Chains A and B, each alone.
Chain A
Amino acid sequence: MGSPTKSAAEHDEGAVGRRRFLTFLVAAPTLTLATTNLAPDGLDAAAAEAGVPGLPQPADIMDLGDVLILAGTPTANLLVLEVTEDGEAHFELPRAEVGQGITTAVAMLVAEELDLPLSKVRVRLADARPELLMNQLTGGSNTIRSVYGPVRRTAAAARARLVAAAGRRWDLSPDRLVTRDGAVVAPDGRTASYGSLTGLAATLPLQGLTAKPKPESEHTLVGTPTSRIDARAMVTGAMRYTLDLDVAGAKPTMVRRPPTINGTVRSVNNETAVRAMPGVIDLAVVPTGVAVMAETFGQALDAKDALDVTWNDGTVDALSDADIRKRLRAAALPFVVPPLLTRHVDAEFDFAFVSHAPLETNSAIADVRDDQAEIWAGLKSAIVAKQTIAAAIGLPEDRVTVHVRQSGGSFGRRLFFDGALEAAQISKAMARPVKLMWSRIDDMRHGRARPATHHKIRATYALGQVLTYEHRVAAVETDLRHGLGEILTATAARLPVAGNLSFAQTVFLTTVKVPYDFGVVTELLNEVPLKMHTASWRSVYSANTRGAEEILVDELANRMGKDPVAFRRAFLKTDRQRRVLDKVAAAGNWGRTMPAGFAQGVGFHDEYKSCTACLVEIDARDPGKPRVVRAVIAADVGRPINPRGLEAQLLGGLTDAISTTLRAGLHIDRGLPLEGSYSQFHYARQKDSPTDVRIFIMPADGEPGGAGELGVPAAVGAIANAYARATGTRPRSFPINFDVDFTPFPR
């Protein structure tokens, strides 16, 4: 066999073959790295007035984002920036773009530091780079937080070199030169474009050059609403996702999967007949099922459906929702505070499994040869993917090239690389390049999902104060084996948790915290390990955990005779949090009179150094068909890079919350989800979406916080609270309307 085909990805980025000059790896001096501020943010005096201040929780001291940044710090500045002869800056981002807009935000940072028009900045997703160690994981709402400093320092270093080159050319001191619009400008008005300087700049010695990012007060692009750099490609159909690539010889391939999760192939009973079907090229048994390759996906789909396979049992064949719920209830740890001593509110909540259901199903291209392999896929944990795939196909890691493709949504799904691993196994088995696509049914039934959870909450109160607050979460185990274990191990000595906690408990404690002064607070996670396909789902534990808490907060307010907004105002810990709440209350006209069957609801959430409030209005005149008709959201993320992109993230979080609170979930029935497509898994459609949404971004004041997952938990609380007020019910099980209103597809 010949060598693997050249990356198709490179052709459409147009960068190959161009001569590159200023290409260097910048390792900024360690001393220039800003130490992460580990102090709990602003437990200010005002907070003490209202509630009984509790001790800071672990996530107040150090959240998961801090952990990721800490683990990534040793390699944080190993970034690649090129300035080309035509005056463009090409930046390689070691993260995955899945729709969250990070390529645009990073391009803005580069453009800002280089004084270059945004249209001249190209951001490409880096291949898996094992030398980055733990610094190529896209998750925990951490991209902007982790790259904000390093990207600016790298671009500032490039700018300094270009200025030095101009100084050399004109025999002027660099400190007399300024940069503007992609050029260096001399005091006498002479200009030299970056393109004309890049060759000279590349030859300058590194010594003696100092570079510091601009003060944030001088930012002119960063912080202003900016449209996505990839938007035009998306609206014209030019955007090429994994399955749109034309890798020579990679033919459409699909897999016939078992009737229950993790079932395996015992025998294929009609291989000859299927091989004779029109278009069929090859067939192979792999650990996950039977792979069929054909000339078109239509034929591969027909062939896989025609397969007659005898299956071995899976890993959870006997399990259905009722059994899982029973196990979760049994697993929830007991409360400490007995209910008899004081007035209290108790509540229990259940949340169903939820598919990530990204519109682009699990998919990948793999070309595995005897001595090397090349992979293309949307990958948020590219290094772990590379290592795992190399081990699975028996090649040394450095013989496996892994290209990260921009992909059609993730919501946590692409932390894992099931499609890429499977494609590599099939390619090895067939000895051919493979273009693998999961069917929607398989993606929903055999793809990963957010685990079901059960919650018990107890709050005690007296004399207008909340004295204790306990939350026990029992969850089906969330698979975190996408590099997080290594990261937590590497940072263990610095983690603000003690005792023999599991990885999951550590992640729980570094992501979930109560934003209110509720006295003695304890939140504990206990997991039930079931061999199912799970993964973090946007906001990990917080959508359910904090969502349930926001519901309880409304009930507690009611018990204590307070309005939900006034109650939150009184018990929130900081003025910064209160400002966000006040914003939605004022803009959303909190408390306005609503017709029967309509109601307002409010929720608040604080994570990853950001906070947000959400106010919704719901039309629940028919409690079986409620619709959120209006939403007002405010967020303080410390420092927004692209407010327009941030609003998009909050809008997405709102829609996720509408879906999972009201209608979208998976029923597990005898070892398999019943839902197999969007006609059954009821993710919101246009008719479920509000016609009036207003989003307010608070002015910059500090470092960027995380924002990718921020929007979900507050909106979950707001929607459930609005539903409760509109219907006079107390929703306890989510999604609220969750009948099996369809005929499941055959197994």
Chain B
Amino acid sequence: MPTYTFAVNGKTVTVDAPADMPLLWVLRDKLGVTGPKYGCGIDVCKACTSHLDGEAVNPCVVPVSEAAGREVTTIEGLAEGDTLHPVQEAWLEEDVAQCGYCQPGQIMAAVALLRKNADPTDAEIDAIQNVCRCGTYFRIREAIKRAAAKM
């Protein structure tokens, strides 16, 4: 079985896995990184949204071979120690989460958006496709705006 080396949340890891194994299962089942959630497996619910070299990706459809030599950041790698990322802070201040299952993905999507666009319009926020089945969208929108103001 091939071996892949890459960084997860700043730590170098090496895994044995078939080249086409989705990164989501490498993270969750081989590395015990459970922040990214399974919601669909086909890149439509976006619950697993994480970053690959700083760009938002959905590990459920990224083969592990694509991660080789690169930097994977999951929700667990967003805060610096106990200091939360401003987007996480904004999420707490707006009390966004209900069941919380989609929120790691929502936050990672918001961070990626704000990196590209420090002051997104409503239309740009609308482009985030992550499903929140509890229907917290309005609070997500308010939290993104709050985070943008902080950053």
Contact at A407–B99, with CB atoms within 8 Å? yes
Question: Within the complex, what minimum Cβ distance (angstroms) separates B46 from chain A?
Answer: 9
Q: Is the CB of B35 within 8 A of A237?
A: yes
A648 with B98, Cβ < 8 A, contacts A236-B75, A237-B76 known: yes
Is the pair B40, A677 in contact by a Cβ cutoff of 8 Å? yes
Q: Are A652 and B98 in contact (CB under 8 A)?
A: yes
Greatest chain B CB density within 10 A among A99, A101, A278, A411 is at A99
- The 0/1 profile, CB within 8 Å of B marked 1, for residues 228-259 of chain A is 10111111111111011010000010000000
Chain A residues with CB under 8 A of B100 = 99, 230-231, 233-234, 239, 408
Stretch at the interface among A17-25, A458-466, A687-695: A687-695
| A364 at the binding interface (Cβ < 8 Å) | no
Among A295-303, A326-334, A507-515, A593-601, which stretch is in contact with chain B? A295-303
Decide if A683 touches B133 in the complex (CB within 8 Å).
yes
Stretch at the interface among A41-49, A174-182, A353-361, A424-432: A353-361
Most central of B107, B129, B133 by chain A CB within 10 Å = B133
Chain B's nearest CB lies how many Å from the CB of A587? 16
Contacts of B135 in A (CB 8 A): 651-656, 658-659, 684, 689
Q: Does B13 sit within 8 A of A, measured CB to CB?
A: no
A401-416 contacts to B (CB < 8 Å): 407-411
Indicate whether A147 reaches chain B with its CB closer than 8 angstroms.
Answer: no
A651 close to B139 (CB less than 8 A)? yes
Interface pair B18/A278, CB less than 8 Å apart: yes
Q: Which residues of B contact A232 (CB under 8 A)?
A: 92
Contact A678 B29 (CB under 8 A): no
- Asked if A686 is at the interface of the complex by the 8 Å CB criterion, the answer is yes
Q: Mark out the residues of chain B between 1 and 40 whose CB falls within 8 Å of any chain A CB in the assembled complex.
A: 1, 18, 21-22, 24-26, 28-30, 32, 34-40
Q: Is A714 in the interface zone, CB < 8 Å from B?
A: no
Chain A residue at minimal CB-CB distance from B88: A235
Find chain A residues with CB under 8 A from B45 CB.
Answer: 359, 440, 677-678
Contact residues on A (Cβ < 8 Å of other chain), bracket = 35 or more
**How far, in angstroms, from A163 to B34 measured CA to CA in the complex?**
44
What's the Cα separation between A685 and B76 when bound, in Å?
25
Are A237 and B75 in contact (CB-based, < 8 A)? yes
When distances are taken between beta carbons in the complex, the residues of chain B under 8 Å from A231 are 91-92, 95-97, 100
B149 within 8 Å of A (CB atoms):
no
**B contact residues around A411 at 8 Å (CB):** 133
A659-B75 Cα distance, complex, nearest whole Å: 28
- How far is it, in angstroms, between the C-alpha of A244 and the C-alpha of B28 when the chains are bound? 8
* Contact for A99 among B74, B88, B98, CB less than 8 A: B98
The residue of chain A having its C-beta at the shortest distance from the C-beta of B43 within the complex is A679
Query: Which of A101, A237, A407, A651 makes the CB contact (< 8 A) with B104?
Result: A237
> What is the distance, in angstroms, from B150's C-beta to the closest C-beta of chain A?
14
Q: Knowing A359-B45, A440-B39, A686-B126 are in contact, say whether A98-B133 is a contact too (CB < 8 A).
A: no
Picked from B37, B76, B141, the residue with its CB within 8 Å of the CB of A686 is B141
Whether the Cβ atoms of A301 and B41 lie closer than 8 Å is yes
Report Cα–Cα, A230/B97, bound state, in Å.
9
A644 at the interface (CB under 8 A from B): yes
Q: Would you call B41 and A241 a contact (CB within 8 A)?
A: no
- Which residues between 31 and 62 of chain B lie within 8 Å of chain A, taking CB atoms? 32, 34-42, 44-45, 47
Q: A98-B99, A101-B98 are in contact. Are A298 and B21 (CB under 8 A)?
A: yes
C-alpha spacing A654/B132, complex, angstroms: 13
> Across the two chains, which residue of chain A brings its CB closest to B25?
A298
A residues in contact with B95, CB < 8 Å? 227-228, 231, 644-645, 648
Decide if B68 is an interface residue (CB 8 Å cutoff).
no
Q: Name the B residues within 8 Å of A684 (CB-CB).
A: 135, 137
Determine if A240 and B34 form an interchain contact, defined as CB atoms under 8 angstroms apart.
yes
Q: Is the interface of A mostly helix, strand, loop or mixed?
A: loop
Judging by beta carbons under 8 Å apart, are B29 and A252 in contact? yes
Q: B residues within 8 A CB of A683?
A: 131, 133
For residue A439, CB closer than 8 A to chain B, the reply is yes
Of chain B, the residue at the smallest CB distance from A232 is: B92
Contact A678 B131 (CB under 8 A): yes
Query: What separation, in Å, do the CA atoms of A741 and B34 have in the docked complex?
Result: 34
- Name the CB-closest residue of B to A236: B79
Given contacts A235-B92, A241-B101, A358-B133, contact A687 B126 (CB under 8 A): yes
CB-contacts of A642-690 with B (<8 A): 644-645, 648, 651-656, 658-659, 677-679, 683-690
- Asked if B125 is at the interface of the complex by the 8 Å CB criterion, the answer is yes
How far, in Å, is B139 (CB) from chain A's closest CB? 7
Nearest CB to that of A695 among chain B residues? B138
In the complex, B151 has a CB within 8 A of chain A: no
Q: Which residue from chain B places its CB closest to the CB of A246 in the assembled complex? A: B32
A185 on interface, CB distance cutoff 8 Å: no
Residue of A nearest to B131 (CB): A678
B99 and A236 within 8 A (CB): no
Residues of A within 8 A of B84 (CB): 235-236
Q: How many Å lie between the Cα of A299 and that of B84 in the bound state?
A: 35
Contact bitstring B102-129, A, C-beta under 8 A = 1, else 0: 1110010000000000000010011111
**Do residues A237 and B141 form an inter-chain contact, with CB atoms below 8 A?**
no
Complex interface: chain B residues within 8 A of A227 (CB) = 92, 95
Q: Which residue of A lies closest to B105 (CB)?
A: A359
Whether B40 contacts A691 by the Cβ 8 Å rule is no
Contact partners of A233 in chain B: CB under 8 A: 100
CB neighbours of B130 from chain A (8 A): 685-686
A690 to B141, CA, bound (A): 10
List of A residues within 8 angstroms of B32 by Cβ: 246
Question: Are B44 and A679 within 8 A (Cβ)?
Answer: yes
A100 at the interface (CB under 8 A from B): yes
Known A408-B100, A439-B41; 11 more pairs at CB < 8 Å: A98-B99, A100-B98, A101-B98, A235-B84, A297-B29, A298-B29, A359-B101, A644-B95, A652-B98, A677-B45, A678-B45
Q: Which B residues lie at the A interface, using CB under 8 A?
A: 1, 18, 21-22, 24-26, 28-30, 32, 34-42, 44-45, 47, 74-76, 78-79, 84, 88, 91-92, 95-104, 107, 122, 125-141
Could you list which residues of chain A lie within 8 angstroms of chain B, going by C-beta atoms? 98-101, 227-228, 230-241, 243-244, 246, 252, 278, 295-299, 301, 357-361, 407-411, 437, 439-440, 644-645, 648, 651-656, 658-659, 677-679, 683-691, 693
3 A-B pairs closest in CB distance: A655-B135, A237-B35, A99-B99
